């Protein structure tokens, strides 16, 4: 099954975009973060705090296997690390939501930042952003910069009506 796979840095708006696509085209969303939160019954920051990042990445590997077993089309809303480290191209059409770091900072509330342990230190978050951007770009079939172009992208490039 070829899914629509949304990748991009933390706070770039993947979940809002996934929801919008879902509403417009009635396609269900599978969020890798929500799947882990549900399975663990804990927030991501608590998982990082109690078990560490390595444990979280192992959970992402398990979620990858779960997605491979989905038998109907889904929008896959990938956590920032999932989109960079998992073999997302094998899951379907990869769409990279490509925002500048400054834009991400502007759109993210403090509350949203607190939910993301890798945003604890702004300087290292920026370094991570630079590394990750290259990985996302390598994996992306489509680069997408603005939610305003959503309909064009789906109806012209992806042939969704
Ligand atoms: C992470 C991104 C987060 C979440 C976790 C780690 C990352 O998801 O999976 O905090 O490594 O980039 P979002 O991209 O939805 O914020």
Note the Cα 42 to chain centre separation in Å: 19
Ligand 1 nearest-atom number relative to CA 11: 16
Tell how far the Cα of 154 is from the centroid of ligand 1, in angstroms: 25
Nearest 5°: phi and psi at 87?
Answer: -80, 70
pLDDT at 161: 61
Atom of ligand 1 nearest to the CA of 33: 9
Residues 111-134: what's their mean pLDDT?
94
**Residues having CB within 6 Å of any atom of ligand 1:** 10-11, 14, 33, 44, 79-81, 116-118
pLDDT at 59 over 70: yes
Residues near 30 by beta carbon (within 8 Å), at least 6 away in sequence: 3, 67, 70, 74, 75, 76, 77
Predicted confidence band of residue 6 (pLDDT cuts 50, 70, 90): very high
- Find, among 143, 142, 145, 117, the residue nearest to 13 by Cα: 145
Compute the average pLDDT of residues 70-82: 97
Distance 12 CA to ligand 1 centre (A): 10
Among residues 22, 18, 10, 33, the alpha carbon closest in space to that of 125 is found at 10
Residue nearest ligand 1's atom 15 by CA: 79
DSSP β-bridge partners for residue 82: none
Query: Distance from the CA of 80 to the center of ligand 1, in angstroms?
Result: 4
Give this prediction's pTM.
0.94
Which are the contacts of 134, defined by CB distance < 8 A and separation ≥ 6?
Answer: none
The pLDDT of residue 150 is above 80? no
Q: Look up tokens 């502007």; give the residue.
A: 106
């Amino acid at each position: 099954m070829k899914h629509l796979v949304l990748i991009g840095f933390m706070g770039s708006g993947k979940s809002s975009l996934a929801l919008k696509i879902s509403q417009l085209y009635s396609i269900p969303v599978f969020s890798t973060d929500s799947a882990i939160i549900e399975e663990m019954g804990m927030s991501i920051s608590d998982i990082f705090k109690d078990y560490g990042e390595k444990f979280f990445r192992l959970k992402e590997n398990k979620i990858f296997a779960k997605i491979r077993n989905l038998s109907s089309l889904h929008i896959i809303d990938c956590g920032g690390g999932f989109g960079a480290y998992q073999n997302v191209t094998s899951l379907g059409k990869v769409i990279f939501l490509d925002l500048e770091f400054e834009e991400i900072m502007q759109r993210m509330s403090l509350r949203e930042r607190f939910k993301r342990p890798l945003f604890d230190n702004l300087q290292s978050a920026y370094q991570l952003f630079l590394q990750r951007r290259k990985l996302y770009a390598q994996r992306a079939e489509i680069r997408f910069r603005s939610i305003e172009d959503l309909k064009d992208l789906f109806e012209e490039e992806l042939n969704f009506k």
